Amino acid sequence: MRDFLPADVRKRNYVIGIIKEVYESYGFEPLETPAVENLETLMGKYGDEGNQLVFRILKRGDSFAANLRAFANVTRHGMYGEFEENDPSYAVAMTKEFCDLALRYDLTVPLARVVANNKNDLPKFFKRYQIQPVWRADRPAKGRFREFYQCDVDCIGSNSMVVEAEIISAACDILTRLGFNDFTVRINHRQLLSQMVADAGIESETDALVALDKLDKIGVDGVRKELIDRGIAENSADKFLAAVVGNSTNADLDAVLRLCGDRPVKIDPSLARGLSYYTGTIMEINVPDLAGSLGGGGRYDGLIGMFGKEQIPACGFSLGLERILVVMEERGMFPPEIAGSTPADVLVTIWNEETVSDSLALATELRRSGIRVTLYPEADKLGKQFKYADSIGVPFVCVLGDDERAAGVVKLKNMSSGEEIRLNSREVAARILQ
């Protein structure tokens, strides 16, 4: 878990602001969901590896104590005695006894729950964006943390490949606005991957795709080893890997490629995406100097039906805020006004206790002119007030001393040049804003 200092927050808000602007320009509406979900809502939606990364929350109060006593009792009597501690069945039993809630793993499953529960209150084609934190019990890596922000966009209710094209276009517009010019959108299709798995004689599609999803991290040799370690025959592993580096495509991918026009999109048969709820097109955005992706997503036409009676088509994409920030920081991509921003345009000093009201009035007047003002909070030596202004990077300082008050003016100091001039309050505002 991390703290964000003011400079960090300004950069995060800058990126989030652009993401919101672009999403809303495409007609997507904001949505928020709670950080905590019922455990049963999340479990069984992400595949075995995803399930293991869900942060579970212990039951509370008397119910936890009662369940602890009950579990100890049944364990002593042999109900769970045949399970080893690393047995999945043992873990399931423990989970049911002690956990009923969890921190959300992503924003897609909660969205599916929302759509299923509010179908009659939503438009036929529901387009939403959501920018909120998620949690995963994972080993942190570059640009990846146990708590991180996802910036999601989804369209619910259509099977058309126009949806994929619009989502990809929105993501491309965001990265272009942020200053990225070397990203690539890779696309693939789960049906193609399923066919490759079947043609290779691999029985477990899940094992094959979980291993393939690590290709960018461990390389072809690493994926081959993991496939074999998962019980897949060497010849089947080799046949599968040969297929994923080929030129396979289908009508859906061809349509997406055509609809995206001049966007930097390419078909990549090796792209897997490990989450089990994907059913059709899958997508990732990559840049050369980042292992992993800036974002990813895909079509998940079967997920909403897990929460209701009706299967509703859906497709979405998620940008990883932290990964974007890491790359932008390393490349020096933040605009000067963001990278070197200050908390205020001017500091108003307090000469002595008798002048506090006058300083407050000046600060108020300048703020009403659209100027960001920080007020030194107490009477102090003027040198200390100037030193403080310099430490926080404020470009101007206003001084209301006895001479200035008597003359009805304000002394304005430019902290960069050292220039000092006397102006009335309206002239001060104009000078700062120019």
Question: 30: helix, coil or strand?
Answer: strand
Calculate the CA dihedral of residues 74, 50, 100, 76 and round it to 10 degrees: 10
Position 75 pLDDT exceeds 60: no
Would 137 be classed as within a structural domain? yes
What percent of the chain has pLDDT above 70?
90
Q: Are residues 36 and 96 in the same domain?
A: no
Query: Is the separation of the CB atoms in 36 and 104 below 8 Å?
Result: yes
Q: How many CB atoms lie within 10 A of CB 309?
A: 7
Phi (first) and psi of residue 191, to 5 degrees: -65, -35
Query: Is the separation of the CB atoms in 309 and 287 below 8 Å?
Result: no
pLDDT for position 71 = 58
Position 385 pLDDT exceeds 70: yes
Q: How many CB atoms lie within 10 A of CB 18?
A: 18
Among 270, 297, 331, the domain-final residue is: 331
Q: How many CA atoms lie within 13 A of 279 on its CB side?
A: 15
Q: What is the largest CA-CA distance in the chain?
A: 93
> Which amino acid is it at 333?
M
Output 206 or 126, whichever has higher pLDDT: 126
Among residues 416, 337, 410, which one has the least CA distance to residue 10? 337
pLDDT for position 67 = 62
Tens of pLDDT, residues 317-373: 999 999 999 999 999 999 988 988 889 999 999 999 999 999 999 999 999 999 999
3-state helix, strand, coil in the chain (%, to 5): 45, 20, 35
Would 51 be classed as within a structural domain? no
Element (H, E) at 325: helix 321-331
Q: Are residues 169 and 91 in the same domain?
A: no
Tens of pLDDT, residues 142-183: 656 889 999 999 999 999 999 999 999 999 999 999 999 999
Q: Are residues 91 and 235 in the same domain?
A: no
Would 199 be classed as within a structural domain? yes
What phi-psi label fits residue 370: left (phi over 0), alpha (psi between -120 and 50 degrees) or beta? Answer: left
CA angle 253, 256, 262 (to 5 degrees): 125
Q: Are residues 278 and 374 in the same domain?
A: no
CA angle 235, 236, 240 (to 5 degrees): 120
Would 336 be classed as within a structural domain? no
Stated pTM of the model? 0.84
Q: Are residues 87 and 216 in the same domain?
A: no
Question: Rounded distance, CA 268 to CA 283, Å?
Answer: 9
Q: Per DSSP, what are the bridge partners of residue 188? A: 282
Q: C-alpha distances in angstroms, 184 versus 149, 187, 294, 362?
A: 22, 10, 10, 52
pLDDT for position 273 = 85
Tens of pLDDT, residues 277-295: 999 999 999 999 888 899 9
Angle between helices 356-368 and 425-433 (to 10 degrees): 50
Mean pLDDT, range 212-240, rounded to an integer: 87
Q: Are residues 84 and 30 in the same domain?
A: no
Q: Are residues 71 and 195 in the same domain?
A: no
Q: Are residues 389 and 374 in the same domain?
A: yes
Position 78 pLDDT exceeds 60: no
Q: Are residues 27 and 175 in the same domain?
A: yes
The residues, any chain, with a CB within 8 Å of residue 259's CB and separated by 6 or more, are 161, 162, 164, 165
Q: Per DSSP, what are the bridge partners of residue 99? A: 58
Q: Are residues 255 and 143 in the same domain?
A: yes
Tens of pLDDT, residues 363-381: 999 999 999 999 999 999 9
> Which range marks the domain in which residue 364 is found?
342-433
Instruction: Give the chain's domain count.
Output: 3
The CATH number assigned to the domain holding 211 equals 3.30.930.10
Q: Are residues 421 and 372 in the same domain?
A: yes
Phi (first) and psi of residue 287, to 5 degrees: -125, 155
What phi-psi label fits residue 296: left (phi over 0), alpha (psi between -120 and 50 degrees) or beta? Answer: beta
Mean pLDDT of the chain: 89
> Which amino acid is it at 147?
E
The two tokens of residue 15 are 């990126």
Would 30 be classed as within a structural domain? yes
Would 47 be classed as within a structural domain? no
Alpha helices in 213-270 (DSSP H): 215-229, 234-244, 251-259
Q: Are residues 224 and 300 in the same domain?
A: yes
The CATH number assigned to the domain holding 426 equals 3.40.50.800
Element (H, E) at 15: helix 6-25
Residue 211 pLDDT level (bands cut at 50, 70, 90):
confident
Determine the straight-line distance between the first and last CA of the chain, rounded to whole angstroms.
Answer: 42
The two tokens of residue 195 are 């066919």
Would 415 be classed as within a structural domain? yes
